[in-house]
Structure 1
Amino acid sequence: MVARLEREVALAPGPVRDALLALPREVLIPQAYVRRSAPDETPRRWDLLDWSKPGDRDELLRLLYSGESVPIQHDGEPILSRIPGPRSGGAITAMSSVAGMTADLLHQLGLGRGQRVLDVGTGAGVTASVACFVCGHDGVVTVDIDRHVSEAARARLAALGYRPVVATGDGTAGWPAQVPYDRIFISFAVPRVPPALMSQLAPNGRALMTLGTSSPSWPGLAVVTRSESGVVEGELIAVEFGHRGGWGFDRLFLSREFRDQITTSPGDWTRRSRLEPPADTARGMWLALDHFFPGLVRHFGADHLTIGAPECGSWMRVCPADSGRWDVTGAGPRDVWAELQDVAGRWQAAGSPHTYRLEIDADGTQRVTTSCGALSWPIPAPCRDHGDIR
């Protein structure tokens, strides 16, 4: 797995690589789920594989070292002392993230010996184990909202010889008992930078987290630092992949029926345009689109650019026509193509940025802007009616 990540340039030489190379994942994750149902099949079906069963070991090893995400909990169940076998219905409620993304983010975090680290969202404990290996477990705190996840991680980290503080609680509130932290890492998407975590960040400290909306299509990586004098600064980087939303995070998705509709329906209108759709690599534009015109989800499985707004039923697809022109078909109350071109024009006028400045004021105000201020948007405070994002 490590060699494959190195070939894919997702893992650079250094302490994170050494930690992953030394980590026996079957000790940290002796049980994991493998999905047996088709993508759109309901109810969903899984099998819980167990390292103690010789017949499960080959498949479990392939899963653990595939580099893909590994489901570890179903419907909030207790994790220790589970009986392996099939499960039906419900949902996966905890998992270990994709190895390449985790490795890249931990490399960017800049872990070093003796640092105090706060790991928010314990999951399978992979991030905590890397932090213990690199920094020493005495300075590591890992927090998860689910006590079953915390209990399992505590036992399995101990089996590796690591004894960090493993706590249960709202990770966005941090863990005041061990402040300040030199490094803070959140392993789930949040809608804004949690103010409590910034107050717990040490001078010269760094925090990383995925900033996302209800759409899974266009995440941003927030990199926040505190200077020696205490000034908090940040940047928001448009990225291809990010962490999923945490507990309580409303997440839009395109149902199978809606996907079929937007790829086959004649729509309400079709127009021919000489404007070329923005490239997939124009991630700074897509990130801005997600904030200026929220509620859109990209259908990445379609042959051509296809976007839907599941809350109102609007959609748009773009297909190449002839002589550098494009056929744009749409339906619903929103003109998604017009929204797209509006943001694309503003993004280009601002210099086509890939990275934005993330302003975090002492009063809780947060704003994303370009260095010249030509393109900017606020990050709203959470709505109390929808609960806390954890």
Structure 2
Amino acid sequence: MVARLEKSGDLMPGPVREALLALPREVLMPQAYVRRSAQDETPPRWDLLDFSRPGDRDELLELLHGGDSVAIQHGGEAILGRIPGPRRGGVMTAASSTMGLTAGLLQLLDPRPGQRVLDVGSGAGVTAAVMCFVCGDGGVVTLDIDPHVTAAVRERLSGLGYRPAAVTGDGTAGWAAAGPYDRIFVSFAVRRVPQALVEQLAPGGRALMTLGTSSPSWPGLAVVERRPDGSVEAELRAVEFGHRAGAGFDRLFLSAEFRATITPDQGRTQRSRLAPPADTDRGMWLALDHFYPGLVRDFGAKDLTVGAPECGSWMRVKEAGYRRWDVTSRGPRDIWAEIQDVARRWRAAGEPGVYRLHFDADGSQRATSPNGALTWRFSPSDTGVSR
């Protein structure tokens, strides 16, 4: 797994690499779920694999070291003392994130020996274990909203010889009792930077978290730093991948039934000389997500396909020749016009991939392009966006 991460460029020499080499993942995740059903099959079917069962061991080790996300909890169940075997229906409620994402973020976080660390969203305990290895367990706090997750992480980190503070509570409120922290790592997406976490950041400290909306398609990475003089500087980076949503998100998705309506005979087609933005224009797509919320990209489609499941609108763009594209759409929203509107504004702003994050006195937060030409505001109530 480490060799693959190095080859892909997600992992470089340093303490995070040494930690991932040293920490046995089967101790942190002696049980994990593997999906047995197809993507759109309902109800979904899983098997809970167990390392203590010889028949499960090879498949579980392959799962743990494959690099993908690993599901560890079904339907909010107690994690300790479970009986392995099949599960049906429901949803997965805790997981270990993909290792490429985790490794990259942990290296950006730059943990160092002796630092105080707040790990928000314990999951399988991988991040907490890395922090204990690098920083020493005495200064590490791992926090999760689910007491079953907290109990499992506490026991499994103990099995590695680590005894950080494993506590239960609202991650967006942090854990002020052990602060301030030199490093804060949030492993789930939030709508805006929680003020409590900014307040618990020590001078010289750094916090990382995914900022997202109800759409899973275009995440942003918030990098927050407190300078030695106590001032706070932050930026929002448009990234390809981010953490999954935390509590309170009503996530949008394109169901199989919705995707089945995205066909030429169910929409209207127009010819356009305007090129669709490239996938790598992530700063544009991030801005689109905030100026025109409610859109979801179908990354499994051959052509650029975007839907708005709340109103039934969709759009598909297919190349039709030299500098010509066929735009097929359906529904009350003109998604193509929305994309082109933001693309024009994004180009006028210098095509930024990184925005400055501002924390205003009234509690609201703003993202602004470096030249100030493109900006949006995150609502203080976390319920929407004012343009």
TM-score (normalised: structure 2): 0.98
Q: CA deviation at 1:361?
A: 2.6
Tell me the residue number matched to 2:289: 290
Tell me the residue number matched to 2:34: 34
Tell me the residue number matched to 2:139: 139
Secondary structure (helix, strand or coil) at the match of 1:76 reads coil
Secondary structure (helix, strand or coil) at the match of 1:266 reads helix
Identity of aligned residues (%): 71
Residues 102, 239 of structure 1: CA spacing in aligned structure 2 closer, same or farther, 3 A cutoff?
same
User: Which whole-Å CA distance do the structure 2 matches of 1:77 and 1:240 have between them?
Assistant: 31
**Residue 219 (structure 2) pairs with residue 215 (structure 1):** no
**Moved >4 Å (runs of 4+):** none
Tell me the residue number matched to 1:105: 105
User: Which whole-Å CA distance do the structure 1 matches of 2:230 and 2:264 have between them?
Assistant: 56
Tell me the residue number matched to 1:311: 310
**Residue 199 (structure 2) pairs with residue 199 (structure 1):** yes
Consecutive unaligned residues of structure 2, counting only runs of 5 or more, are: none
**Residue 340 (structure 2) pairs with residue 341 (structure 1):** yes
Tell me the residue number matched to 1:388: none
User: Which whole-Å CA distance do the structure 2 matches of 1:57 and 1:11 have between them?
Assistant: 27
Do the aligned partners of 2:2 and 2:20 also contact (CA within 8 Å) in 1? Answer: yes
Residue range with higher mean Cα deviation, 364-373 or 101-110? 364-373
Tell me the residue number matched to 2:116: 116
Deviations 1:173-197 (A, max 9, x none): 0001101000000000000000001
**Residue 350 (structure 2) pairs with residue 351 (structure 1):** yes
User: Which whole-Å CA distance do the structure 2 matches of 1:384 and 1:177 have between them?
Assistant: 29
Q: CA deviation at 1:372?
A: 1.4
Q: CA deviation at 1:371?
A: 1.6
Residues 58, 268 of structure 1: CA spacing in aligned structure 2 closer, same or farther, 3 A cutoff?
closer
Tell me the residue number matched to 1:130: 130
Q: CA deviation at 1:267?
A: 3.8
User: Which whole-Å CA distance do the structure 2 matches of 1:101 and 1:362 have between them?
Assistant: 33
Equivalent runs, 1:2-151 vs 2, <5 Å: 2-151=2-151
User: Which whole-Å CA distance do the structure 1 matches of 2:380 and 2:41 have between them?
Assistant: 37
User: Which whole-Å CA distance do the structure 2 matches of 1:218 and 1:197 have between them?
Assistant: 23
Q: CA deviation at 1:218?
A: 0.3
Do the aligned partners of 2:191 and 2:382 also contact (CA within 8 Å) in 1? Answer: no
Q: CA deviation at 1:382?
A: 2.9
Paired amino acid for 1:144: D
Do the aligned partners of 1:266 and 1:329 also contact (CA within 8 Å) in 2? Answer: no
Do the aligned partners of 2:115 and 2:139 also contact (CA within 8 Å) in 1? Answer: yes
Paired amino acid for 2:30: P
Q: CA deviation at 1:362?
A: 4.0
User: Which whole-Å CA distance do the structure 1 matches of 2:306 and 2:121 have between them?
Assistant: 31
User: Which whole-Å CA distance do the structure 2 matches of 1:233 and 1:359 have between them?
Assistant: 8
User: Which whole-Å CA distance do the structure 2 matches of 1:140 and 1:330 have between them?
Assistant: 51
Deviations 1:290-336 (A, max 9, x none): 00000000011111001000000011000111232001111111000
Deviations 1:154-191 (A, max 9, x none): 00000000000000010110001101000000000000
Tell me the residue number matched to 2:259: 259
Q: CA deviation at 1:265?
A: 4.1
Secondary structure (helix, strand or coil) at the match of 1:245 reads coil
User: Which whole-Å CA distance do the structure 2 matches of 1:59 and 1:209 have between them?
Assistant: 32
Q: How many residues align?
A: 384
Do the aligned partners of 2:352 and 2:370 also contact (CA within 8 Å) in 1? Answer: no
User: Which whole-Å CA distance do the structure 2 matches of 1:365 and 1:293 have between them?
Assistant: 19
Deviations 1:178-223 (A, max 9, x none): 0100000000000000000100000011000000000000000000
CA RMSD, 1 decimal: 1.1
Q: CA deviation at 1:232?
A: 1.1
Tell me the residue number matched to 1:245: 245
Paired amino acid for 2:274: L
Secondary structure (helix, strand or coil) at the match of 1:128 reads helix
User: Which whole-Å CA distance do the structure 2 matches of 1:248 and 1:200 have between them?
Assistant: 22
User: Which whole-Å CA distance do the structure 2 matches of 1:189 and 1:35 have between them?
Assistant: 23
Do the aligned partners of 1:293 and 1:339 also contact (CA within 8 Å) in 2? Answer: yes
Deviations 1:236-294 (A, max 9, x none): 000000000012211000000111111x2424421111101000000000000000000
Secondary structure (helix, strand or coil) at the match of 1:58 reads helix
**Residue 367 (structure 2) pairs with residue 368 (structure 1):** yes
Do the aligned partners of 2:192 and 2:382 also contact (CA within 8 Å) in 1? Answer: no
User: Which whole-Å CA distance do the structure 2 matches of 1:363 and 1:136 have between them?
Assistant: 38
Residue range with higher mean Cα deviation, 316-325 or 110-119? 316-325
User: Which whole-Å CA distance do the structure 2 matches of 1:268 and 1:137 have between them?
Assistant: 58
Do the aligned partners of 2:350 and 2:371 also contact (CA within 8 Å) in 1? Answer: no
Paired amino acid for 2:222: A
Paired amino acid for 1:220: G
Do the aligned partners of 2:304 and 2:317 also contact (CA within 8 Å) in 1? Answer: yes
